[in-house]
Amino acid sequence: MIQVTTDPINPGDLLAAFTVDRNQAGAIASFTGLVRSTTDGAAVSRLTLQAYPGFTEKVMADIEAEARGRFDVQDIIAVHRWGEIEVGHPIIFVAVASAHRRPAFEAVDFLMDQFKVRAPFWKKEDGPGGPRWVEPRLADHDDLSRWIPKPL
């Protein structure tokens, strides 16, 4: 389940709700991404994320479907916030339920690497030098290459 919202995210509430009635699951792994106070040594006072409502959900749902096809998981939730977000507040919450722990850990890791590079959000950081749009990081693209099968 994908949700894109301008409302604040409460990871505790989301995880508690996701955990209810999981008699078949042996594991739930989760990840919460927060707004950092510094980026590459520069102070950040606030983050503004721009989404493309409709299209952003579609791309994230495609990524969720890829994860379901790739890992032995029972359920996935990803909630992504956009708009103005203060330092220390959650941007994204992801949780995966599975029978055993390994697919849950791996699916969360995969989902975050894919969302970071492919989910349509444009990021603007406010700092001492004024607001600036953030370009993609090469390291994020390197993270994606972890999921490409290597030749034997």
Looking at residues 21 to 80 of the shown chain, list those that interact with another protein (rule: CB under 8 A): 33, 49-50, 52, 54-55, 58, 80
**Using the rule CB under 8 A, is 135 a contact of another protein?**
yes
| Angstrom distances, CA of residue 74 to CA of 53, 79, 92, 100, 133 | 27, 17, 20, 10, 37
Nearer to another protein, 22 or 123 (CB): 123
**Using the rule CB under 8 A, is 14 a contact of another protein?**
no
**Using the rule CB under 8 A, is 120 a contact of another protein?**
yes
Using the rule CB under 8 A, give the single segment among 14-22, 63-71, 97-105, 127-135 that binds another protein. 127-135
- CA dist 32 and 14 (Å) reads 11
The partner residues of 47 in beta bridges, in order of sequence, read 85, 125
Task: Please list, in sequence order, all residues whose beta carbon lies within 8 angstroms of the beta carbon of residue 36, skipping any fewer than 6 positions away.
Answer: 44, 87
Residues that bind another protein (CB under 8 A): 33, 49-50, 52, 54-55, 58, 80, 91-92, 115-124, 133-137, 140
